[in-house]
Amino acid sequence: MLNKIFWPFLLLFIFIQQAGAQLPDFTEMVEKNGGAIVNISSTHNTADKNGSQIQQLPEGLPPEMEELFKHFNQGPNGDLVPRNSKSLGSGFILSSDGYILTNHHVVNEAQEIVVKLSDRRELIAKLIGSDPSTDIAVLKIAADNLPAVTIGDPNKLKVGEWVLAIGSPFGFDQSVTAGIVSAKGRSLPGGNYVPFIQTDVAINPGNSGGPLFNMEGKVVGINSQIYSQSGGYMGLSFAIPVDVVMHVVDQIKTKGKVSRGWLGVQIQDVTRELAESFGMSRPHGALVAKVIPDSPAEKAGLQIGDIIVEFNGHIIETSGELPPMVGMTPIDQDAEVKYIRQGEKKSSPIKIGLLPESEQLAANTAAPKISNRLGLTVTNMNDEQRDQMQVSKNGVLVQKVGKGPGLDAGIQSGDVILRIQDSAIKDVADFDKIVKNLPAGKSIALLIQRRGSPVFLALKLEK
């Protein structure tokens, strides 16, 4: 009877021991790298519109509370005293001579940056340079013989692989969290030049700028963003791959600024409907919605409607994969671009240009012509309107969207219809003629311009 009770417990104990033995042990990695992780606090002065450094009063305060609140911003003689706000973040020591990496948003517009080392020393840091586009900042402190991290290769990371983060969530120094790589090459809003590493590592406010380690104890990324509806960890964390980081760091240290490669196209994803309209067997690649005049792309002969499927030997599955590749390509270097044009695969060398400063684009209105077949009210535009919307001689303005295929395709009032399939739209008469002859039951590629940006939509007329 005793054996019948004993053996099941013994087998369960052995199973638990074996399962535990398969889990990673991070203790050695933390002991080795913990000393290279720093806490960063940056001080910001809150200035009023007259330049006085004073915190703004909350609206709706009772008179007695308002008077009390004011005293916190006044010196003994009634003069204004700066009220400082602090932001906390993490960082790590890149080299023993005091270079430190963190996020741009941790130190942006800081009046003072304080770096707290693992040995509890606090040193004032100098901002060497930062890059808002990749959210990377390089700092320098006056110290020597510091423990530094080892840089790894994020391209060797595999989805499902264990990774570890060390940082200061909510100001708690040297906090360690672990998880796995959930995905690679993620595109996020505002992250055009970063193919993010997605993990389920617990990252919270204060972890920003801290390192992401692989199982070899090497840094493969900088923890930068979380996706959260509550402001806290929800299992979706994003890190900047360290190869992107080092490309930026090298430029900041040598040139003081970051230069990026430029093709001169605006692109979008290829949806299932658009793939059908272009005769593709499956959706993939980056669809060219606009070619910038006098750009490297225009000089190489790229056209609206081309679908870029390969860049310098790298397959392009989604449009978000292309900008980081182009951005990291050296200026004036030739890149081999493969693309699909009207069902035919083509290839062309393109000399990469220097990304110019981005310009703000605009859009506006005018008087109507109804196309009952699409349910759209469209109008011609005058020269002033074309200048405002930065469109050339082609295009008609959508005044109203009624029930029909146009609404189903996602066309909105204020859109400019530039092209239907391979035909450029010159004016309303041209639009009517082309729409009249559109085939039913087939996906049609429609190029519009919306708020200054070109976008392809897929439209289908019912049989």
Res. 75: pLDDT tops 90: no
Residue ranges and CATH numbers for the domains of the chain are 33-140 (2.40.10.10), 154-255 (2.40.10.10), 261-354 (2.30.42.10), 369-460 (2.30.42.10)
As a whole number of angstroms, the distance between CA 81 and CA 261 comes to 46
Q: Which helix (H) or strand (E) holds 353?
A: strand 353-354
Q: Map tokens 């759209």 to a residue.
A: 376
Which secondary structure element, helix H or strand E, spans residue 386, and what is its range?
helix 383-389
Q: What's residue 50's pLDDT?
A: 38
Kind and range of the H or E run holding 291 = strand 286-291
* Residue with the larger pLDDT of the pair 70 and 330: 330
Cα(415)–Cα(351) distance, integer angstroms: 33
What is the CB neighbour count within 10 angstroms for residue 144?
8
User: What pLDDT does 151 receive?
Assistant: 97
* 123 contact partners, CB below 8 Å, separation of at least 6: 114, 115, 117, 141, 142, 143
User: Does residue 35 surpass a pLDDT of 70?
Assistant: yes
pTM of the model: 0.68
* Confidence category of residue 52, pLDDT binned at 50, 70, 90: very low
Q: Mean pLDDT across the stretch 343-359? A: 85
Instruction: Supply the pLDDT for residue 49.
Output: 36
**Residue 222 parent element (H or E):** strand 219-226
Q: What pLDDT digit, counting tens, does each position of 309-350 carry? A: 999 999 999 888 999 999 999 999 999 999 999 888 999 999
* Tokens encoding 422: 């391979």
Render 26-63 in DSSP notation, one character per residue.
-HHHHHHHGGGEEEEEEEEE-B-TTS-B-PPPPTT--H
Among the ranges given (177-191, 306-320, 374-388), the one the predictor scored with the smallest mean pLDDT: 374-388
Report the catalytic residues.
Answer: 105, 135, 208
- Pairing label, strands 99-102, 84-93: antiparallel
Rounded CA gap, 422 and 445, in Å?
8
Per the listing, tokens 């220097």 go with 354
Backbone angles phi, psi at 220, to 5 degrees: -115, -5
Band (279; pLDDT cuts 50, 70, 90): confident
Cβ within 8 Å of residue 248, ≥6 positions away: 131, 134, 136, 258
Assess contact for 103 and 71: CB atoms under 8 A. no
pLDDT at 401: 80
